[in-house]
Amino acid sequence: MRTLKLTLAYDGTDFVGWQRQAEGVSIQSLLEDALAAFEGGPVTVHGAGRTDAGVHALGQVASVALTASHPVETLQKALNAVLPAAVRVLGVLEEAPDFHARFSAVSKVYEYRIVNAPFVSPFLHRYAWHVPVHLDVGSMMEAASALTGTHDFAALQGSGGTVTSTTRTIEWIEWDGAQEPDRPMVVRFEGSGFLRHMVRNIVGTLVEIGVGRSAPSRIGAILASRDRAQAGPTAPPAGLFLVAVRYPQFR
């Protein structure tokens, strides 16, 4: 048995998300079905982050245990030959047996893209949230800075979350404040873990502040409330990208 680490990029537009569902095509099911052909039997793939329907990945990571002894380059080529063009295997590495894409992850980087302009380039509309009203980027950055560090993010957790603790750490938040039809504003986050819909709820809350419906100083009260109703709406999935997953103790 070998433990393999797969790094993946996908355009999530036409999928039901990472996780296998009763209906619709998921990234997990595409990978498991493709790998089962090598293994000659059922295969379970673990993903680092369970991206929702419509969410994209630039560097999702998955782990899988295989008896099949093909060289990693052969596996990568063969997977890319059978997977739809919207899903690409960027790399395959043999890892230590205890490597697990989700449990070994130390941090994840997500980014959210907003086109803040009267209209969106036809080449970006699948990959960004279109906010036509002018955003005050300064206020949004001020609010975002209050989110870095360790906090109870219960107010920013989507319904359906199943975790016991809602305390998480955001290491840093980075901005590209572009406000053009063909260049998105990008908010990038690195954190030890993210609750269900947490990034999209943060972005929805920041946009409420950016349009002036809420003040940057309200972030503290929103976090303290632990009440989802105090925060802004959930930003749409199309703008969200899982950028990278960090495993400093593995190669």
Active site residues: 52
Burial class of residue 189, CB neighbours in 10 A (0-12, 13-18, 19+): buried
Positions in 89-108 near a copy of itself (CB under 8 A): 89-90
In whole angstroms, how close is the CB of 84 to a copy of itself at the nearest point? 9
Nearer to a copy of itself, 25 or 146 (CB): 25
71 binds a copy of itself (CB under 8 A): no
Kindly state the DSSP code that residue 17 receives in the 8-state scheme.
B
**Using CB under 8 A as the criterion, what x/- string covers residues 29-68 for binding a copy of itself?**
---------------------------x------------
Nearer to a copy of itself, 125 or 134 (CB): 125
125 binds a copy of itself (CB under 8 A): yes
25 binds a copy of itself (CB under 8 A): no
- CA dist 168 → 18, 84, 109, 143, 192 (Å): 22, 35, 14, 17, 7
178 binds a copy of itself (CB under 8 A): no
For the four alpha carbons of 146, 147, 148 and 153, in that order, the dihedral sign comes to: positive
129 binds a copy of itself (CB under 8 A): no
127 binds a copy of itself (CB under 8 A): yes
Structure tokens at 97: 């047996």
Which residue in the set 4, 10, 45, 205 belongs to the binding site for a copy of itself (CB under 8 A)? Answer: 10
Stretch that binds a copy of itself, among 3-11, 106-114, 227-235, 243-251 (CB under 8 A): 3-11
Q: How many residues bind a copy of itself (CB under 8 A)?
A: 22
User: How far apart are the C-alpha atoms of 90 and 85, rounded to whole Å?
Assistant: 12
Stretch that binds a copy of itself, among 79-87, 195-203, 222-230, 242-250 (CB under 8 A): 79-87
Q: Please name which of 189, 180, 122, 113 lies closest in space to residue 151, comparing C-alpha atoms.
A: 189
118 binds a copy of itself (CB under 8 A): yes
Which residues 6+ apart lie within 8 Å of 135 measured at CB?
114, 116, 179, 185, 207, 210, 211
Report helix, strand or coil for 108: strand
Which residues 6+ apart lie within 8 Å of 129 measured at CB?
112, 113, 114, 115, 203, 207, 235, 236, 238, 239
User: How far apart are the C-alpha atoms of 94 and 87, rounded to whole Å?
Assistant: 21
Binding site for a copy of itself (CB under 8 A): 9-11, 56, 77, 80, 85-90, 118-123, 125, 127, 181-182
